[in-house]
Structure 1
Amino acid sequence: MKINKLVTLGVLSLFSTALFAVNKGDSPKVSHLPAHPQKEPMAALFVLDTSEKTPKLMEGTQLSRHKPRKLCFSLTNVNPQAENRLVEYLGSPAPIKVKTLPSSQVKAEDDSQTHFLIFTPVKQAEFNNNEYVRCWIFDTSDPVGKYNFEIQFNDTVFKGLSFEVLK
């Protein structure tokens, strides 16, 4: 059983707040547009249909092992540094073997159902408009069922993510 790891970059548009200062005579007045509140770090799972040249975003987080699909996660608002630490926790419904990028370290529990995938470092250049995207491909050797997924990016941990692999 194996999972192939691919890296893709997504595009996310962000808007910045503009500040304006207006001076009139001896009594300076400062006015500005309301600042956007600090955006919270976010992680999201999504499935891409890769059967056509341009991948298509699908609804939900279920994917079939028999169709050309990628399960991806996106991290936004995580304030990347020049070098970052990414740890992925994957809990599978049955024993599984994980195949990843050569730069990755995989640590598996004795039951072969819990894996910690450690990617060190993730470069700031791998972010596109403050978004980082990484994708998985599942094949017929991967177990069917619900997977639990957690992500740690530097000191920020995203828990409670899950997806389901179908026949």
Structure 2
Amino acid sequence: MKKSLVALAFFSASVFAGSEVPPNQPMQNTPVVQFGVVDISSQIAKIAKNVGLAYSLKNQNHRLCWTAYNVPFQMQNKVIEVFVTPKASQFNSEGATVESSKDKKTHKITTMVPNNSDSFGRCWRFDDKDPLGTYKVDIQVNDIIFQTQTFELVK
């Protein structure tokens, strides 16, 4: 099954800045990543309500997004995303290098990003060509490797 993903511009501060900080939030200077399904139906993107980490193909206004904070950014930053998909798939990301495993289930997306803020994030859009099921995502910004994230792609 062919998979086509499009990386979108992401205004990370507007999406996650308004969300409440959970009580177990790490110390302010510790690098953190926020990960979730975002609703872009209004001018200000917001965390999608009542969906958890399930991305529904039925909702055209949803994107899967992440934002890294408190990372010691450099002039040029190497961002690596590794997606593990439930079935063979394909990833596309303009301006990035995409390497896929022979079985097309593991995809490494590498992007060089200039430092222009105190956070960085990406959003992904899925469509009906993408395999349903559980996805895993590893995110690395420069030398900081974040905990593996998981989400479900559902109809």
Residue of 122, 128, 148 corresponding to 2:136: 148
State the match for 1:108 in structure 2.
100
State the match for 2:68 in structure 1.
75
Ranges in structure 2 where 5+ consecutive residues have no aligned partner? 19-26
Q: Quick check: which has more Rg, 1 or 2?
A: 1
Q: State the Cα distance separating 1:53 from its structure 2 match.
A: 4.2
Task: Give 1:20-99 correspondences, 5 Å limit.
Answer: 39-59=29-49, 60-68=52-60, 69-99=62-92
Identity of aligned residues (%): 28
CA deviation map 1:140-166 (0-9, x unaligned):
111111100001111110122111111
Alignment of 1:139 onto 2:130: no
Alignment of 1:124 onto 2:115: yes
Which has the larger strand fraction? Answer: 1
Q: How many residues align?
A: 139
Equivalent position SS for 2:128 = coil
Q: State the Cα distance separating 1:38 from its structure 2 match.
A: 6.1
Name the Cα RMSD after superposition.
1.7
Kept after mapping to 2: 8 A contact 1:66/1:140: no
Q: State the Cα distance separating 1:97 from its structure 2 match.
A: 0.8
CA deviation map 1:23-63 (0-9, x unaligned):
xxxxxxxxxxxxxx661101121111233444331142111
Q: In structure 2, how many angstroms separate the alpha carbons of the residues matched to 1:44 and 1:84?
A: 18
Ranges in structure 1 where 5+ consecutive residues have no aligned partner? 14-36
Q: In structure 2, how many angstroms separate the alpha carbons of the residues matched to 1:89 and 1:66?
A: 25
- Structure 1 stretches of 4+ with a deviation exceeding 4 A read none
Kept after mapping to 1: 8 A contact 2:139/2:148: no
Q: In structure 2, how many angstroms separate the alpha carbons of the residues matched to 1:52 and 1:155?
A: 35
TM-score computed with the length of structure 1 as normaliser:
0.77
